[in-house]
Structure 1
Amino acid sequence: MRKKYHELELTHHGSEWTVEEDALAFLTDAALVGRHTLSQQHRWPKADTDAELGHKLGESIWWLIVLANRMDIDAKEALEHFLTKTENLIK
C-alpha cells in the first residue's frame, strides 16, 4: 500500500515523501486519534466518531509499521523489547 502512496506523492509533489514527512503524517493521524477519543467520550462534539476513531487507530498503527520499516527497525521485536523491559520495571 505504501508503494501506491509513493506513486501519488510523485504525481502531486514530484518526489516521494521523506521519512520525516511520514513521521509528520503519523503525528497528524495520532492527534486525530486524540480528538476522536474526546468525541467518543462525549467531551468534543462530532458525528460518526466510532468509525472515524477506528479508522485513525488503524492508520496510526500502519504508519508506525511504515516508519519502522523505513528506519530498518523490526516493529515486532521493538514491541516485544518494550513489553519485556516495561514488565520488568513494574514487577
Structure 2
Amino acid sequence: MEKDNFDEIIRRSIAIRKKYHELEMTHHGSEWTVEEDALAYLTDAGLVGRDIMSQQLRWPKVGSEAELEHKLGENIWWLIVLAERSGIDIKDAVHNFLDKTETVLK
C-alpha cells in the first residue's frame, strides 16, 4: 500500500478523532476537552520516552519496539488533532517551524 500524503493523513486523523468523540459521548456523556486531549498526548509522549529507553537497552521492557512504532504514530496523530482543535493549520505550523529553524541555523 502506498504511503498517504500529509493531507490524507490529516483527513484520516480527524475522522478517527470524531469516532473517539462518539465513544466518549457513549461512555461519559461528553466529548473530551482540548485540555484532556493535550493530557492524553503528553501521556503518550512520555511512553515514547520509555520505549526509546527500552529500545536503547536502558529500561527493561519486553515488546517495546512494536509499541514504540505505534506510539510515534499516535503522537503525530495527537499533534494533528490538537492543531485542528486549536484552529492551527498543522502544515503551516511545520513549514513555518522548518523555515525559521533553517534560517537560524544558516
TM-score of Structure 1 vs Structure 2, range by shorter chain: over 0.9
| Aligned-residue offset at 1:10 | 0.9
Q: Report the TM-score, using the length of structure 1 for normalisation.
A: 0.97
Out of 14, 25, 29, the residue aligned to residue 29 of structure 2 is 14
Task: Measure the CA separation in 2 of the matches of 1:8 and 1:44.
Answer: 34
2:40 equivalent to 1:25: yes
Equivalent position of 2:99 in the other structure: 84
Task: Measure the CA separation in 2 of the matches of 1:56 and 1:28.
Answer: 10
**RMSD between aligned alpha carbons?**
0.6
2:71 equivalent to 1:71: no
| Aligned-residue offset at 1:3 | 1.2
Task: Measure the CA separation in 1 of the matches of 2:18 and 2:90.
Answer: 19
- Unaligned residue ranges in structure 2 (runs of 5+): 1-15
Task: Measure the CA separation in 1 of the matches of 2:39 and 2:93.
Answer: 20
Deviations 1:43-67 (A, max 9, x none): 0001111100000000000000000
Out of 42, 48, 52, the residue aligned to residue 63 of structure 2 is 48
| Aligned-residue offset at 1:16 | 0.1
- Unaligned residue ranges in structure 1 (runs of 5+): none
Q: Report the TM-score, using the length of structure 2 for normalisation.
A: 0.84
Runs of 4+ aligned structure 1 residues displaced above 6 Å come to none
